[in-house]
Every structure is written in C-alpha cells, then in structure tokens.
C-alpha cells in the first residue's frame, strides 16, 4: 500500500529550517535531494530540510494484519488530505471488502483502487470470496399414469409434473424398464425426444430436450404401448421413472377396454387405494379416459415399484329363450322363429345360428343388424346363419326369422330340424308344429320336451 504526498517547504527568515510533520510512527523517508534525518517525537516524525523548495516524499511502513474468523483487517492513519487515493495490490478478483468511510474499492487491472476519508483513517477488512459455482440440481416429480388393457394391446399414458427447486433443467432423462415402446411425448416445453439403450442393461432411457432451461414447474405427457399375445396373458407394466429426481411419487390406475377381464398378479412398492381416490383434474380427464368396467388404483412414493397384470378374454354369456313354429304344407315346409338372446359379461358383435340345410331365409328382423351371411358347409350337417351387428350389443336382443323350403316332405316321419344359437349357456322355449288341411300330425318321439296345451 503506497499513499503518496508532495508537501511544500516555504522559505523562512529564521536560521532554523522549516519542518514537515507526518504523524505516523515507524516511517522511513527517501528524497531525490540529500536525505534529511528524520527525528521521531511522540508518534510523529519531523523532517528538517537544508533549503526551501518542493520535495517529493515517499513514506514506507508496515501495518499489522489482524485475523478474525475469515476476515483480515488493518488499521492506521496517514496525513490529512482532501482526496487521497489508495491502491490495494495482491488481492484476488473475488475479494470482499469492508472499508468504512472510504469509497468502495474498484477493480482496475490486477489492483483495487479506492479513496481514503478526509481524516486519513484507514480501517480496512477483507476476505477471499468464494468463486461462484452452479448450484446442485434438485427437482421433484409426480406422475399420474393410466394403464389400459385391450385385446392384443396394453397402452400406458403418464402425466409427469416436475418442480425444479434448485438449478435448472435443459433436459430430463426418464428410465424405461420392461417391454414396450414410447409412441409420443408431449408438452409445451418439449423440443425433441429420443430413446437410447443403456450399455450393459436391457433397460433404456428416454431423453426429453426442452426448448429452454426449466427453473420452475412444467409438465410432460408420455404415451407408451406394449403388444400382447393371445389371452390369457400376464404382462409387466412398463416402468417409467425420472433419473436423479430428489422425490418421485404418484398414482397408477389400471382399466380394461373391451372384452377383457383383469387381475393384478403382483404389485410391489404400491399401495392399493379406492378408484375414487385417484386424483381427477381437467387434464387427467382429457388424457386418462376411463372406458372399461374394471378399475384398480394404486399409490406409490418411490421409484422402486413393479406391477404385473393378468388379462383374460371375456366371452359373452348367452341365455336363449325361443319360440319355434313348424308348418307343413303340401309343397312347402316353413319354420318361424322368434329368438330372445340375453347377452351378458361382454358385448357381442356377431351372432351365429345353426339352421337346417336346404332352407331359404325368407324374413329376418333384428335391431341394429348390419349384415347377414347364410352358408352351408359341406363338412357340417347344418347350415350357418351369421348375423353381424353395426355396433357391439349387449343385454336383451330379439331376432325374428322365417325359413322356407319349396319342396314337399315326401315322408311319413317329419323330424323337426332345430335352430340353435351357437355357444349358448342355456336354452329354453316352446316348439309348435302345425299342418295344412288334409294332414294329421301326431308326436312319434320327443326328447327333452314336455307337452303343453296349444294356447302357449
């Protein structure tokens, strides 16, 4: 530290030379002229010159440094001056100062420059500042996920809500474990995404790049799917978890779609809750639509969880009640049938009826019917009438039809051909036979029938 002053010694008529007084003990002096001898006197030096004039004076002294915690301090006084600069050397650029009464030190080159207070008091404290470092990243994630199982396919939709507590995220890495593929990644901040394999592991990772660093809350939607084989089938849900998240929690919901019956075979790291406790918002209602009749809901509070789902196909359960009326004419045989089918457990898209060969379909009525096909397989004793509905149907369905054969019976025994609904669980109903005038009908042999009055 080099405070500098240039005092002036005026001419004096006295034979004693003038004196310049610097109030600081322990000082040494130097001058281009013949160096005067400094005399110390009560915490001051007195310089005596042999002639009058202007003399530059440089004072060199040492100041004691006092250490207190992380701060270093010095304290001394110099000559009074209205505006006196001070140069601080050998200090780092990140040094912190406390300099009461003085101007704030400013960095110029490798030095710091300030100005002393007018009374010459130097009371300076400093410490080395810590270099600014980027704070460690802390973020939390919450996931709302729905798994939908349908014939041949398991779809997963995950809504991830992120909260950055410290640092910033320019991209997020999601670990994928299990069979399946990512089909879509959405979000207002999503710029691009890519799935990469992990070296030495069957797991993969999903890299989601953002259009700008994220410092607060943001959301990402991930859609995945896993192909399934023939039912019954057990499948592991594709696990999705953010890498290096401080906290990861959320909810899972499993639903069925179509004629599928679900069972949860394994649920480790999960707590089952009521389906009504699954969080519902406008976003979840739009993205996580519930279409099936089965729902399972779980909650998790960590990344280590596993879910295994057992799926089986639900076959429609058919209960049939029918009325069959057989009519014998001289040159014609006719069958009128009214069939009431109760469809349960699963919707029905097609209904298969077994009808006698050699008959033509004269009339067919069925609500919601789109098309029908009548064929006579050579390797089967009966013909097949396949009814195709425009939409899957369930509940009570009524089918009315008339079969005709333009040919005389030609025999004395008429075996009534049945009309059957394929894969029916139970069948009940009534059978009636009638003939034109000139014919008499009598029962010859019956099986699983009970004769009742004709007014049924």
Q: What phi, psi does 404 have (nearest 5°)? A: -130, 145
pLDDT the model gives residue 16: 36
CA 144 – CA 190 distance, rounded (Å): 18
* Within-domain flag for 442: no
Residue 303 sits in the same domain as residue 342 = no
Residue 23 confidence (pLDDT) above 80? no
Best-predicted range by mean pLDDT among 11-25, 106-120, 151-165, 429-443?
151-165
pLDDT in tens, 429-449: 999 999 988 888 888 888 888
Q: What is the mean pLDDT of residues 160-167?
A: 92
Asked whether residue 450 is assigned to any structural domain, the reply reads no
Which of 60, 85, 103 is the C-terminal boundary of a domain?
Answer: 60
| pTM confidence score | 0.56
Range of 1-15, 130-144, 275-289 with top mean pLDDT: 275-289
The answer on 293 and 349 residing in a single domain is no
pLDDT digits (tens, 9 = 90+) for 175-188: 999 999 999 999 99
Task: Clarify whether residues 20 and 79 are in a common domain.
Answer: no
% of residues, the chain, pLDDT over 90: 50
Residue-range definition of the domain harbouring residue 422: 317-435
Among 50-54, 78-82, 384-388, name the one with the lowest average pLDDT. 78-82
**CA gap 431, 212 in Å, rounded:** 77
Confidence of residue 282 (pLDDT cuts 50, 70, 90): confident
In a domain, 454, yes or no: no
Both 96 and 240 in a single domain? no
- Indicate whether 444 belongs to any domain: no
Q: If pLDDT is split at 50, 70 and 90, which confidence band does 53 have? A: confident
Q: Report the CATH number that the domain containing residue 360 is assigned in CATH.
A: 2.60.40.1730
Read off the pLDDT band of 62 (50, 70, 90). confident
pLDDT at 43: 64
| Residues 6 or more apart whose Cβ sits within 8 Å of residue 200 | none
Residue 35 confidence class, pLDDT cut points 50, 70, 90: low
- pLDDT recorded at residue 133: 54
Q: Which of 15, 33, 60 is the last residue of a domain?
A: 60
Mark whether 345 and 220 lie in a shared domain: no
Give the count of alpha carbons within 13 A of 443, CB side only: 9
pLDDT at residue 422 in the model: 93
Residues 299, 158 share a domain: yes
- The number of domains in the chain is 4
* pLDDT at residue number 342: 96
**Residues 387 and 414 grouped into a single domain:** yes
Compute φ and ψ for 42, nearest 5 degrees. 50, 65
The CA distance from 245 to 300, in Å, is: 15
Scored b (16 or more CB within 10 A) or e, 151-164 reads: beebbbbbbbebbb
What pLDDT, in 10s, does the model give residues 75-125?
877 777 677 788 888 888 888 888 887 888 888 888 888 888 877 788 888
Q: Rounded to an integer, what distance in angstroms lies between the CA atom of residue 293 and that of residue 315? A: 15
Does residue 186 lie within any of the structural domains?
Answer: yes
Q: What is the maximum alpha-carbon separation in the chain?
A: 177
Give the CATH number for residue 179. Answer: 2.60.40
Q: Give domain status of residue 452, yes or no.
A: no
> Dihedral sign, CA of 335, 340, 346, 348?
positive
Question: Please, which contacts does 300-304 make with residues 24 or more away whose CB atoms are closer than 8 Å?
Answer: 300/249, 300/250, 300/251, 300/252, 300/269, 300/270, 300/271, 301/249, 302/248, 302/249, 302/269, 303/241, 303/245, 303/248, 304/269
Give CA–CA dist 417/203, Å, rounded: 62
- My answer on whether 175 and 285 are in the same domain is yes
Cis bond before residue 43 (omega within 30° of 0): no
**How far apart are the C-alpha atoms of 34 and 49, rounded to whole Å?**
9
pLDDT digits (tens, 9 = 90+) for 211-249: 999 999 999 999 999 999 888 889 999 999 999 899 999
Q: Which of 107-116, 192-201, 415-424, 426-435 shows the lowest per-residue confidence on average (mean pLDDT)?
A: 107-116
pLDDT level of residue 42 (50, 70, 90 thresholds): low
**Other CB atoms within 10 Å distance of the CB of residue 92:** 12
Residue 337 sits in the same domain as residue 391: yes
Same domain, 166 and 299: yes
Q: Which of 278, 301, 299 minimizes the C-alpha distance to 290?
A: 278
pLDDT in tens, 299-344: 999 888 999 999 998 888 999 999 999 999 989 999 999 999 999 9
What band does 204 get if pLDDT is binned at 50, 70 and 90?
very high
Which of 280, 313, 346 is where one domain is finished?
313
What is the predicted pLDDT for the residue at 20? 35
Q: Is residue 281 part of a domain?
A: yes
Mean pLDDT of the chain: 85
Mean pLDDT across the stretch 373-394? 93
Q: Which of the two residues, 250 and 293, has the higher pLDDT score? A: 250
Which one is predicted more confidently, 130 or 423?
423
Q: What is the mean pLDDT of residues 374-391?
A: 93
What is the Cα–Cα distance from 299 to 247, expressed in whole angstroms?
14
How many Å apart are CA 176 and CA 196, to the nearest integer? 10
Q: What is the pLDDT at residue 1?
A: 43
pLDDT-derived band of residue 130, with 50, 70 and 90 as boundaries?
Answer: low
Is 389 among the domain residues? yes
Torsion on CA atoms 345, 351, 354, 357, rounded to nearest 10: 180
Task: Give the pLDDT band of residue 456 (cuts 50, 70, 90).
Answer: low
CA 320 from chain centre, in angstroms, equals 48
Same-domain check for residues 307 and 325: no
Q: Find, among 236, 223, 247, the residue nearest to 158 by Cα.
A: 223
pLDDT of residue 438: 84
Looking at the structure, do residues 98 and 18 belong to the same domain, yes or no? Answer: no
Chain centroid to Cα 106, Å, comes to 49
């Amino acid at each position: 530290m080099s405070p500098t002053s240039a005092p002036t010694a005026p001419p004096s008529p006295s034979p004693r030379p003038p004196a310049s007084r610097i109030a600081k003990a322990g000082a040494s002096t130097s001058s281009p002229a013949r160096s005067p001898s400094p005399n110390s006197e009560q915490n001051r030096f007195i310089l005596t010159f042999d002639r009058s004039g202007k003399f530059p004076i440089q004072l060199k002294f040492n100041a004691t440094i006092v250490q207190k915690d992380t701060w270093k301090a010095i304290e001394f006084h110099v000559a009074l001056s209205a505006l006196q600069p001070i140069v601080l050397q050998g200090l780092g650029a990140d040094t912190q100062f406390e300099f009461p009464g003085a101007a704030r030190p400013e960095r110029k080159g490798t030095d710091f420059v300030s100005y002393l207070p007018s009374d010459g008091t130097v009371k300076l404290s400093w410490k080395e500042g810590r270099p600014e470092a980027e704070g460690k990243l802390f973020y939390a994630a919450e996931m709302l996920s729905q798994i939908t199982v349908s014939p041949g396919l398991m779809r997963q939709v995950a809504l991830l809500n992120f909260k950055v507590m410290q640092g910033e995220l320019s991209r997020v890495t999601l670990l994928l474990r299990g069979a399946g593929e990512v089909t879509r990644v959405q979000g207002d901040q999503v710029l691009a995404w890519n799935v990469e394999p992990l070296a030495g592991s069957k797991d993969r990772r999903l890299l989601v790049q953002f259009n700008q660093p994220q410092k607060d809350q943001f959301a990402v939607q991930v859609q995945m799917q896993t192909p399934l084989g023939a039912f019954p089938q057990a499948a592991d849900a594709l696990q999705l978890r953010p890498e290096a998240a401080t906290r990861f929690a959320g909810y899972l919901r499993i639903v069925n779609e179509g004629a599928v019956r679900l069972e949860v075979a394994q649920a480790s790291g999960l707590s089952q809750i009521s389906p009504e406790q699954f969080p519902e918002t406008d976003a979840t209602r739009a993205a996580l639509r519930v279409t099936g009749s089965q729902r399972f809901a779980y909650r998790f509070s960590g990344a280590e969880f596993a879910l295994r789902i057992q799926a089986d196909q639900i076959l429609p359960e058919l209960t049939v009640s029918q009325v069959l009326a057989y009519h014998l004419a001289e040159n014609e045989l006719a069958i009128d049938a009214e069939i009431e089918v109760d469809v349960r457990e699963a919707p029905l898209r097609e209904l298969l009826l077994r009808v006698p060969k050699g008959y033509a379909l004269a009339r067919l009525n069925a609500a919601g019917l789109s098309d029908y096909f009548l064929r006579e397989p050579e390797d089967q004793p009966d013909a097949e009438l396949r009814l195709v509905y425009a939409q899957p149907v369930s509940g009570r369905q009524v089918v009315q039809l008339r079969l005709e054969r333009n040919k005389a019976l030609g025999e004395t025994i008429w075996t009534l051909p049945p009309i059957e609904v394929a894969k029916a669980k139970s069948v009940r109903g009534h059978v009636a036979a009638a003939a034109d005038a000139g014919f008499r009908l009598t029962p010859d042999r019956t099986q699983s029938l009970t004769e009742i009055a004709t007014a049924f």
